[in-house]
Structure 1
């Protein structure tokens, strides 16, 4: 029995400084397989660089909500920041992002894992950590988006909310959220997940889920965004420094809990 480790990253959002720090940590641990759960672009200044790096470093790349709507060629923006992020990512990367698969299934230590960005139905529906029972159960359903060819999963890993968490029920079903590399909430330190087990095996074996926080040079990332005159740079800096959404800036609030924004 050979245990293998896989790194799961997500929600880099154009923050190349954070991504490079996380990739360095993954490499230092000897992990060679990386799966990306989406949202490469938007919010940060280097969506193009992030996308191109993930093309080469990630074995699996999955569609995120920003990857779907931001590069949409049929969509016109009257928002300066949206236009800037779309142009910075580039048309070729935009086409690649919108072509990414919705989900990815695999076996590890006798458990079927399904990864997607936000929900079992669409990248545009959010399931927060304080969901109800119906939302929990729904995450395991086969849908038009996930396909009906595979059995329903035992474990669901997703992203989107930038909130890392873990939950199980009495049926041994497990849900976890990877958190965010480039725009993590509450604790703004980049976070990713390591899965540990016997890959591609339908036999029960040891299995683990681990979250890893990786410090990085936040001020260097903010300085770069400022130097290229990225729109909404003050809001970006606020999120990276505090771990609270930029909506709080509009109300001049001092939040104690990020859902407030």
Structure 2
């Protein structure tokens, strides 16, 4: 007798964009999905990091740490950027501590496959692996490291960080996917998330799926909020939200500089 497959929504890189997050959560709810795993970068770039954290703490079953979540509330860091200081000031009481204490990764079984989710790479939230990685970088995503801890090596790895969604299969049936970004999607600026489907917690082989979902939202409403709050770096934020053009590339739309996250 076949079992109904479990579905998990995997989101990442909301970056203070509450309007996009609410649209994605509404889409997830409309599909009847109750489990949401969040791969980090709740704050920075957008105006409402505090509200995003509150929503994710309430709605997400799993929350892991992103690079912004580590460095923005770092008490030992000095900020010479108006934007960084402003985004830090938006955090509510205790939220910086919560961000810095988030787990590095989350491991589980799905249809007989070991799944590992983290923000950027197997070694650090600050080590970036692009979609055009080499074989060494690909294999490194499946390694056990001091950051991930010991345990069964994963056969499926999902991550965020680069805002570039992709799906790749390598030697040994290893699956690597990037969720893309909910709040700061590039090129196609439409928020994107992933649905994992399979038998959760089962060591037995069964069907599984990785599906990418794009969710339109009210971009102008989000821009209006950022404008009303007098958020620094507003022209760059508008460029990213309206056109999917990274703020560093605004003067040269043909350029594509992979240092976005």
Aligned to 1:31: 33
In 2: Cα distance, 1:220 partner to 1:205 partner: 43
The offset of 1:57, in angstroms, is 0.1
- Which deviations, in whole Å up to 9, do the C-alpha atoms of 1:9-38 show, x marking residues without a partner? 000000000000000000000000000000
Return the TM-score normalized by structure 1.
Answer: 0.97
3-state SS, counterpart of residue 52 of structure 2: helix
Q: Select 1:137's aligned residue among 136, 139, 164.
A: 139
Query: Contact 2:249/2:257 (CA < 8 Å) preserved in 1?
Result: no
* 1:173 equivalent in alignment to 2:163: no
Aligned to 1:253: 252
- Which deviations, in whole Å up to 9, do the C-alpha atoms of 1:89-117 show, x marking residues without a partner? 23411110100000000000000000000
Structure 1 segments of 4+ aligned residues over 6 angstroms from their partners: none
Aligned to 2:121: 119
Which consecutive unaligned segments of at least 5 residues does structure 2 have?
none
3-state SS, counterpart of residue 97 of structure 2: helix
Aligned to 2:89: 87
Aligned to 1:105: 107
In 2: Cα distance, 1:71 partner to 1:179 partner: 24
3-state SS, counterpart of residue 5 of structure 1: strand
In 2: Cα distance, 1:33 partner to 1:219 partner: 29
Aligned-CA RMSD value:
1.2
Aligned to 2:196: 195
- Which deviations, in whole Å up to 9, do the C-alpha atoms of 1:180-228 show, x marking residues without a partner? 0000111010000000000000000010000000000001100100001
The offset of 1:2, in angstroms, is 2.6
Return the TM-score normalized by structure 2.
Answer: 0.97
In 2: Cα distance, 1:48 partner to 1:170 partner: 42
- Which deviations, in whole Å up to 9, do the C-alpha atoms of 1:219-256 show, x marking residues without a partner? 1100100001000111100011111210112xx21226
Change (3 A) 1:244 1:162: same
